Amino acid sequence: MNKITLNRFKFLFNQILKGNFRNALRYKLWLIGYQTTLPAFIIRQIPIIENGEALVEIPQHPKIICIAPQPFVRESVAKMLVKVADNLPQNLYLKILYAYRDQETQKRFWDEVVRDTSSLQIAKSLSAKPGGIGPHQTGAAVDVTLTDSLGNELDMGTHYRDHSNIAKIPMFAKTCTPIQKQNRKLLRQAMTRSGFYFYPGEWWHYSYGDQSWVAYTGDRNAVYGEKTL
């Protein structure tokens, strides 16, 4: 049993000890694969012990292509991105599509998802509802993909934030081709080996140290709360 699996069972057991039986049930349903993502109410209840790290600009690196409008993340996250880039195969590059996102931008993204999907339920799996502490508002999250040496993005099944084919957006979408699954695996391995964890509902979203990261890894508490530039 690896560390993440062990931590997840500890997380489940702690929910039972605290009498949070609804949380425990929903968490167990996710563990056994009945649900793709964890419900927001579980994630929101995870404690945050802010460590005070500053937001810093994503470092320049020969293997990082950053097009994020607000290219800022927490200090540890910035170092981890460099580690990802350092360990990529020679012909691959890390493309950062989005990083820090303020509440105003988050609301705009939310409204776009609701409009595109015509479903609040689907929107909740694709975007953090504005007003809360979303991963991007903490500086913990990045939306990323991989490119080849010519700058062409690898085929991941969908384009970034393309809601025309909702079924293909989740990380382990069954409708993906073998090549698309392999490309997602390459990205997933590169990111998780450096300490990030993926959000199962979107193939491009990774984070470290926020409430979502804790929920999916089973760690004790988040170290990043909401941060402003």
What are the structural domains of the chain?
Answer: 36-217 (3.30.1380.10)
Question: Which among 75, 153, 202, 226 is annotated as catalytic?
Answer: 202
Cα atoms in the 13 Å half-sphere on the side-chain side of 61? 22
pLDDT of res. 33: 78
Please give the distance of CA 117 from its chain centroid, rounded to a whole number: 20
Is 171:204 a contact under the CB 8 Å cutoff? no
Token pair of 103 as six digits: 């509440």
pLDDT of res. 121: 62
Res. 115: pLDDT tops 80 = no
Res. 98: pLDDT tops 80 = yes
Distances (CA, A) of 7 to 2, 48, 79, 214, 217: 9, 17, 24, 10, 7
Q: Which residues of 42-68 are buried (b: 16+ CB within 10 A; e: fewer)?
A: bbeebebeeeebebbebeeeebbbbeb
Clarify whether 202 is annotated catalytic.
yes
Q: What angle do CA 91, 60, 89 make, to 5 degrees?
A: 20
Is 194:163 a contact under the CB 8 Å cutoff? no
Mean predicted confidence (pLDDT) in 65-77: 97
pLDDT-based confidence at residue 1 (cuts at 50, 70, 90): low
Q: Which long-range contacts (CB under 8 A, 24 or more apart) does 28-35 make?
A: none
pLDDT of res. 173: 95
Residue 155 annotated as binding site = no
Res. 50: pLDDT tops 70 = yes
Average pLDDT in the chain: 90
215 closest CA partner among 49, 77, 45: 45
Res. 129: pLDDT tops 80 = no
Residue at 29: amino acid letter: L
Residue 205 annotated as binding site = yes
CA distance 99 to 45: 24
Res. 106: pLDDT tops 90 = no
Question: What is the three-class DSSP state of 148?
Answer: coil
